[in-house]
Chain A
């Protein structure tokens, strides 16, 4: 179970939170003409990278506030959490901390106990 640092309450167990998928997906402005493709991508298409990922979480069983984070999907490490109105951090800042469990290859399950 992860520990997530809620920007409002501090570090808490993952069981208090719900995941909200990719962060910084902009909702098209409804007052303007929106093309099929633009709207379709907003509703249906989300990134699913292996590695660093901007992600939304909500402190459901706590302050009920939404916030963003950068999570490494290959290690589950949450590198930073920040409030919705804060600028999104540059992913290059985190390059050095990226590590994959057990020296796994770029693509794979991570099921290794011996270095490959």
Chain B
């Protein structure tokens, strides 16, 4: 195909040359060129290899519908599958073709084409079955993946995108003739209007074709310029160019992607695409139509192109891809291509129309006659032939005779389709038009208006009345635009989906989906095999499942299927059009919610101290908590945890507990409310005392635990688990609003307002005395489970005597801003007593030695307080609390429920592991009756052996018996079932 540059063109700057590389070879294009137009200018027609058969492919279209010309942009993080027909070139751009090896010209994979008779629909499903399951994973799949496919995924991606939200009254999608007219109606009205077009220039058909000769007695280009100026001057209309609407959701919610670097290389570190999230009152779809192709033998050869695309290259890019193309059509849409060619001083080599002479428009006839263009009416192309490019075609004329025509380019038109993707995404219904042979929007489901060819109006006669009628619900001025056409024809089409090949051959291919290499034969075979529902057929053959979603071919497939099944197309139906309309990069969807912004990190006020003192952190929800502290780089986690735990038992340790949830509850009815939320009774509790409390779900299962401090009957402070803070507050608010709105009570999170230090160990009292000399820490003045408010150096603090380690312990609550200073002070006074920080892992070990549970580790949403042996925490005299009635359900009073017990290995040197099953027999004979499993397991430095907590069936009555712990990795270990307390059962140390 030899292209020719046309004279001056308003969109291409012929004085500005741009160099770029395609497969390592340097070429020149002009400013304004797409990759496709620049390649065609350089007579590069072979641009890629096909998905399955590795057949040579060229440029088929001039827009977003392109199935073939997909390329990899090496100079942009190796972005794959970029449509060459829309991506603009820039100086120094590097492009590579895809799916070929070693080169595009000599592709080894094209051997697949020889074997193609066996690669029919369902080939992979049927063939790669045996001899063993492993063959698929280890042999077939890697082989097939290597051979099939599109571009290579980029290794490194640094694209940045941002999101912008819009809230408007009207969104007009498509800035073509109808979009501009609709926007013109809204100029200076009271509506907020967004006009979106995915091209750089508004105008659509006015720019892309020579269909229109004048508008309002003006040159179309002049009219366009004036109209765009008027719209831009209007304060209520915003125009988004280079923006593609990909998604039409419920309640008029649109997603559109804007390319911020059209025609230039994205600058690293700058936002290169913007995702627009648009909420609109009404959507006006003016997104036009898409031309479809036709199926005949070798309809995929490079040099074959859609006829309106050829015209678009002429009008938009000042380029005729060929000097003398052959045109093959079954409709009137290609008339304007003939007109454009002749206007440019070129001439079609032949005009072939499947329609009869009477159906062809008289003015087209005149044009063809006057210019001596060979005309074939009632004729069809039986096939195209050539080596890596089209060289000749075979035409069957009206008499049935075969004519060979040599040519370097073939323009095809199989008719036009309303671009219904967005309309159906909005859940609007389609209807098949028997006359125009396409689906057209019928019933909208949302406030959606369709105009122009998007609504199925393929002629211009009702332009004014249609727009005025559809926009009459708005207070806008009426349109009266005068339009004159160059090719004065009503849209007319004859049914033709496929031309069968001249010779029957296993190698003859008529494609129905160019990107996925689906042939019309595959469709036939699928129907023969019973896949006659259109959704099944699509998946079995992969028809229209490529990145182009079969934009130029899916309606043809419906036509072929309806003929085969002898059904109406409406009965066959369509497959569902799903968003996005065109591929959308993940980085655009992610926007700024990536890297450090992916998930917020919460840090305690002491975080910087932890960083300086060797803390290794653990993620607890969004919080960063010290897991353990390394005294030097060589210390292992096990050693650190053993050292920290031992130090708490022998001296004293300090834990940063600031992440614990803290909720303040106030109000006249706070006491009654707390009695309803927690299992415990707070009525008789003294002011200034604290209580360990459980919260259940209505199903009676333990949901959270914490310590409740009673300041008065009208004022409580509750702590929650670190991970449960938000849920517990949410639950309290829900019940306060929905079930007990009569109670006067208010609650608020104070988690981040207060830091919490947990100090525990036998020497704690000495440390506290020294750190807070004005407070009396004696057992009489400050007994276990009480709290006191004090002031320390002007800072109000609350000290609670409680412990999660089983040692004498205090929790200090300090306003966050003052916390680091007091933390430092405690560290320095504690040094002489051996005070050392400990992390969450040592805390877990210490609490497990005492049998204290962790909600979410030792419970899993199916454990009641009774199962945990915590019946004493249930306020049985209370009339009601969350989940109370569930504790006497038949299921919760079953005896063989899983209950909490302690486990120690019978042979003290044996190891245990979290998650091990507890079983009764040493012999493993499947099925093995499973009693339960180990929920927590540690090596205790104090006991000198492993110990564990477990939930096992009927556990409470099994205490004192023997069983086995088992996993496939560790074998079977004999264990003793014991009470879930391993240390200081009498709590002497706790209250010392």
Contact = CB atoms under 8 A, between A and B. Distances in A.
Interface string B421-454: 0001001011110000001001101000000000
Contact of B574 (A56, A65, A114): A114
Given A56-B738, A58-B734, A76-B250, A113 B424 contact: yes
Interface residues of A, number: 36
Nearest to A58: B734
B279 interface: yes
Contacts of A112: 429, 573
Contact of B741 (A3, A40, A85, A111): A85
A113 B251 contact: no
Interface of B: 249-251, 253, 279, 424, 427, 429-432, 439, 442-443, 445, 570, 573-574, 576-577, 698-699, 730, 733-734, 737-739, 741, 879-881, 884-886, 889-890
Contacts of B739: 27
Contacts of A50: none
A39 B892 CA distance: 13
A85 B886 CA distance: 28
B674 to A, nearest CB: 15
A9 B826 CA distance: 47
A66 B251 contact: no
A56 B890 CA distance: 30
A114 B573 contact: yes
A98 interface: no
Interface in A76-115: 76, 84-85, 99, 101-103, 110-115
A76 B429 CA distance: 17
A101 B879 contact: no
A30 interface: yes
B528 to A, nearest CB: 25
B250 A2 contact: yes
Interface in A3-32: 3, 13, 20, 27-31
Contact of B429 (A34, A36, A113): A113
Contacts of A36: 889-890
A47 interface: no
Contacts of A113: 424, 429-430, 439, 573-574, 576-577
Given A31-B880, A113-B429, A3 B443 contact: no
Nearest to B569: A114
A114 B881 CA distance: 53
Given A66-B734, A76-B250, A115 B699 contact: no
Interface of A: 1-3, 13, 20, 27-31, 34, 36, 39-40, 42-44, 56, 58, 60, 64-66, 76, 84-85, 99, 101-103, 110-115
Q: Is the interface of A mostly helix, strand, loop or mixed?
A: loop
A65 B738 CA distance: 10
B733 A64 contact: yes
A20 B731 CA distance: 11
Contacts of A101: 427, 445
Contact of A2 (B251, B424, B430, B889): B251
> What 5 pairs across the A-B complex have the smallest Cβ distances?
A30-B880, A101-B427, A31-B879, A66-B737, A39-B885
Contact of B698 (A42, A99, A115): A42
A111 B879 contact: no
Given A2-B250, A113-B574, 13 more contacts: A1-B250, A1-B253, A3-B279, A31-B880, A40-B889, A43-B698, A56-B738, A65-B737, A66-B738, A111-B576, A113-B576, A114-B439, A115-B429
B251 A3 contact: yes
B429 A103 contact: yes
Contacts of B889: 36, 39-40
A17 to B, nearest CB: 13
A71 to B, nearest CB: 12
Contacts of A27: 739
Contacts of B427: 101-102, 110
Given A114-B429, A114-B573, A1 B251 contact: yes
A35 B741 CA distance: 25
Contacts of B445: 99, 101-102
Contacts of B430: 113-114
A108 to B, nearest CB: 13
12 contacts: A1-B249, A30-B880, A30-B881, A31-B879, A34-B885, A39-B885, A39-B886, A64-B733, A102-B429, A113-B424, A114-B570, A115-B429
A114 B738 contact: no
B880 to A, nearest CB: 3
A47 B970 CA distance: 47
A90 B738 CA distance: 20
A34 B737 CA distance: 23
A85 B738 CA distance: 9
Contacts of A1: 249-251, 253
A79 B881 CA distance: 35
A91 B260 CA distance: 49
Contacts of B698: 42-43
A70 to B, nearest CB: 16
Contacts of A3: 251, 279
Contacts of A31: 879-880
A85 B739 CA distance: 11
Contacts of A110: 427
A26 B881 CA distance: 15
Nearest to B879: A31
A31 B699 CA distance: 18
B577 A114 contact: no
Contacts of B573: 112-114
Contacts of B730: 58, 60
A101 B351 CA distance: 45
B250 A84 contact: no
Contact of A114 (B249, B253, B431, B885): B431
A106 to B, nearest CB: 17
A30 B879 contact: yes
Contacts of B880: 29-31
Nearest to B700: A43
Nearest to B886: A43
Contact of B734 (A13, A20, A34, A85): A20
